[in-house]
Copies of this chain bind each other. A is one copy, B any other.
Amino acid sequence: MIGRRKIRLYVTVGQRMLRDSLLFQLLLNDEVELVGESETGVDTLNRLGAARPGVLLIEENLQDNDGLTIAESALSLHPSLSVLLISDTPVSTGRLAIYLEAGIKAVVSKHQPVQELMKTLLYIRNGQVYVSARHNAAERMPTALNAYRALSRREQEVALLMASRVPVRDIAEQLGVSCKTVHSYKDRIFVKLGFERLPELILFMHRHQHGATS
């Protein structure tokens, strides 16, 4: 029972660079339909009516107002709207409670990976509330490392090579298997890690190898 109809998305993010890059990311999913965007809170309120979004993705701190206030106004006008707030800092449980109280469906912080946004979007699309797993730092690293462990020997080999941008053709040759096989591994890797595009794998492998920044 997966929500079938498209997600009508409205995005309110002040800085163009972030707005664009989030949108590029989200629009890769063909269930996402962009119905509007704004840089400010008032502009958002003005346009919401015409855009009729199902989900409002809004920054916590806007130039003119704070996202919470705008979200509350928006909700009073369009009660069926699902609001996803993007906070600047990791959200404390207390603060989260306040948000949920206000009718916001989920909060994602800018310190979380982008993929969380998409995941969250899919969760709240039908009005459910979504509280992300670890709002507490601690157990984040393991996710990545375990994920790597979950790959089989061959998959790991291929992941490594692909992350270095070695062409499929060459990987096949090096491993002595057919290109088709390499593609199979690729598919499996992407499924296992939940990736869609090469850059995600490159970043993942880089982080895996350089232990660092999570």
Give chain A's interface residues, CB within 8 Å of chain B: 15-18, 20-28, 30, 33-34, 36-39, 43, 86, 88, 108-115, 117, 165, 197-200, 202-203, 206, 210, 212-214
Contact = CB atoms under 8 A, between A and B. Distances in A.
Contact of A21 (B16, B25, B43): B25
Nearest to A27: B199
Contacts of A33: 165
Contacts of A24: 21, 24-25, 114, 197, 199-200, 203
Contacts of A114: 17, 20-21, 24
Contacts of A112: 16-17
Contact of A20 (B27, B28, B113, B210): B113
Contacts of A22: 17, 21
A15 B25 CA distance: 16
Given A21-B18, A111-B16, A114-B24, A202 B37 contact: no
Contacts of A27: 198-199, 202-203
B117 A23 contact: no
A93 B15 CA distance: 20
A203 B108 CA distance: 23
Given A199-B24, A202-B27, A17 B165 contact: no
Nearest to A21: B21
Given A24-B203, A36-B210, 6 more contacts: A15-B111, A18-B110, A24-B199, A27-B202, A27-B203, A39-B213
